[in-house]
C-alpha cells in the first residue's frame, strides 16, 4: 500500500514551536504554561530560601494549586506559615498563571 497524506489536512498545519505546543497541552490539563512552571520549579530555592528548599520541593502545579512535599512535619508547619507570602510573590511574578492555593504534604 503506497503512502498517502491523511485526509482533511490533518497533520498538515504549519510547524509550531515546541513551547507553544507544551503551553497548549498544559493548559488543557489544568496546569499553567511552561513559563510559570519554570518560574516555580527552576527557581524554588530563590523563592523559599536554601534552608526551606533543602527540606521541601514542589511536585505539582495544577488547577491553581501548588503542591509541595516536605520531609518532616516541622517543615510543613514552616511552609504553611510562609504560604501567604509565597503565593503573593508568585502572583506578582506570574500574574494570572500563579497558584492561589498551597497544599503541603509530608513524605
User: What pLDDT, in 10s, does the model give residues 70-105?
Assistant: 999 999 999 999 999 999 999 998 888 899 999 999
Residue 78 included in any domain: yes
3-state secondary structure of 62: strand
Residue 89 included in any domain: yes
Residue 38 included in any domain: yes
pTM value surpassing 0.75: no
Crossing angle for the helix pair 34-41 and 73-94, to the nearest 10 degrees = 140
Residue 8 included in any domain: no
Range of the domain at 74: 18-106
Q: Taking a C-beta distance cutoff of 8 angstroms, is the pair 107, 69 a contact?
A: yes
CATH of the domain at 38: 3.30.70
Residue 74 included in any domain: yes
Q: Taking a C-beta distance cutoff of 8 angstroms, is the pair 24, 35 a contact?
A: no
When divided into structural domains, the chain yields a total of: 1
Torsion of CA 46, 47, 50, 51, to 10 degrees: 170
Amino acid at each position: 500500500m503506497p503512502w498517502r497524506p491523511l485526509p482533511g489536512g490533518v497533520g498538515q498545519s504549519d510547524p509550531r514551536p515546541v513551547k507553544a505546543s507544551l503551553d497548549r497541552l498544559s493548559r488543557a490539563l489544568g496546569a499553567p504554561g511552561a513559563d510559570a512552571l519554570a518560574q516555580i520549579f527552576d527557581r524554588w530555592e530563590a523563592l523559599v530560601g536554601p534552608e526551606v528548599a533543602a527540606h521541601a520541593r514542589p511536585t505539582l502545579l495544577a488547577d491553581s494549586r501548588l503542591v509541595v512535599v516536605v520531609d518532616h512535619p516541622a517543615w510543613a508547619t514552616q511552609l504553611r506559615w510562609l504560604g501567604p507570602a509565597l503565593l503573593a510573590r508568585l502572583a506578582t511574578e506570574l500574574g494570572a498563571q500563579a497558584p492561589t492555593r498551597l497544599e503541603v504534604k509530608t513524605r
